[in-house]
Amino acid sequence: MRPRSRVIGRTFRANVSRVGTAANAVALGASFVNATGSRRARRRRRGEFLNDPDRACTDGIIVATCGAFALQLLTRQTLTGFGVKINEKIAAGELWRLVTPMFLHGGLPHLMVNMYSLNSIGPLVEATFGREQFCATYLAAGLAGNYASYRFCPTPSLGASGAVFGLAGALAVYLQRHKHLLGERADMQLKQIGSALAVNMAFGLTSARIDNWGHGGGLLGGAASAYFTGPNLVLESDDPSGRSMRRKIVNKPVVQSFVKAVQDFWDEDDEEDE
């Protein structure tokens, strides 16, 4: 996420160094290249854009985010109108600004580095968590990052980096939960994720112009989502080798209750409209 202090118009000149922001995001994305399974599997997950059903949500988010950027370029609408995070407008009731910033970017370099990071980690998390849980985690992380930014960062901001940090936090929780099953592989990946996050956070602290609250909030939001409702691997009892595992959702009743509450809410709205 990238903050600035002046009024945001069609041309977004952020107060953040483009080189620094790019290095920050690329480092986060690149850190997962060597921590996400075999080289062949990584190449398949990242390379089969729009062709692999196991990364359908990742591709959908990338397409939607790039589409939003194209609209920014093709229309005369300002970024303020598109839904960038502006604290005063959120306080006035425009709560949708807690969601829309994760799909908006201040320029092509900003978009490219965030989509590079998402394309690096997204397919792994989606294949591990499942399609629905991946989407829920991404949105929860983005929402948490924008809310933290709203509470503690007074300047306008936008970008998908908070949600991407959230995917890293969710993956770390998953690996920690399954260290007894994944062994050294989990330890290796946790160290790499921890190192990457530490470098990124340390870099962010060196500049007051980077929205560290958005990054940190997204990280914690993704981790919390995975901790309370994330996937949990269990060994199949009928497999004597102990190698067969299946995935179940932690606190599945909580997730089902939430989904039912949302459905009931929309059903009530439909009845009122009639």
Q: Is 50 exceeded by the pLDDT of residue 19?
A: no
What pLDDT digit, counting tens, does each position of 210-221 carry? 788 999 999 999
Residue 17: per-residue pLDDT: 31
- If phi over 0 gives left and psi between -120 and 50 gives alpha, with beta otherwise, what is residue 14? beta
Number of domains in the chain: 1
Decide if 27 is inside a domain: yes
- CB contact set of 142 (below 8 Å; sequence gap of 6+): 99, 101, 102, 160, 162, 163, 166, 218, 221
| Full-model pTM | 0.75
Q: Which amino acid is at 111?
A: L
At residue 3, the 3 state secondary structure works out as coil
Q: Is 80 exceeded by the pLDDT of residue 136?
A: yes
Q: How crowded is the C-beta side of 249, counted as CA atoms within 13 Å?
A: 16
**Of residues 226, 240, 136, the one with CA closest to residue 172:** 226
CA–CA distance, 193 with 186 (Å, rounded to integer): 10
Decide if 250 is inside a domain: no
Decide if 10 is inside a domain: no
What pLDDT digit, counting tens, does each position of 179-213 carry? 888 888 888 889 888 888 888 878 777 777 778 89
Strand partners, 234: 246
When pLDDT is averaged across residues 138-155 and rounded to a whole number, the result is 95
Decide if 273 is inside a domain: no
**Of residues 159, 136, 162, the one with CA closest to residue 57:** 136
- For the annotated catalytic residues, the residue numbers are 161, 215
Q: Are 85 and 148 in contact (CB under 8 A)?
A: no
Residue 162: per-residue pLDDT: 94
Decide if 269 is inside a domain: no
Indicate the burial class of 88 (C-beta count within 10 angstroms; 0-12, 13-18, 19 or more).
exposed
In the DSSP assignment, the letter for residue 232 is E
Task: Please tell me the least confidently modeled range out of 127-131, 166-170, 192-196, 241-245.
Answer: 241-245
CA–CA distance, 170 with 269 (Å, rounded to integer): 33
* Residue range of the domain that includes 40: 18-235
Question: What are 107's two structure tokens?
Answer: 């320029």
CA–CA distance, 163 with 157 (Å, rounded to integer): 13
Measure Cα distances from 30 to 25, 53, 102 in Å: 9, 23, 20
Decide if 69 is inside a domain: yes
Decide if 272 is inside a domain: no
In the DSSP assignment, the letter for residue 207 is -
What are the phi and psi torsion angles at 77 (to 5°)?
-70, 135
Question: Helix %, strand %, coil % for the chain, to 5?
Answer: 70, 5, 25
Average pLDDT, the chain: 77
Decide if 13 is inside a domain: no
Alpha helices (runs of H) in the chain, residue ranges in sequence order: 18-30, 39-47, 56-74, 79-82, 87-91, 108-129, 131-152, 161-177, 179-182, 184-205, 212-229, 252-273
pLDDT higher for 149 or 31? Answer: 149
> For position 230, which CATH number holds?
1.20.1540.10
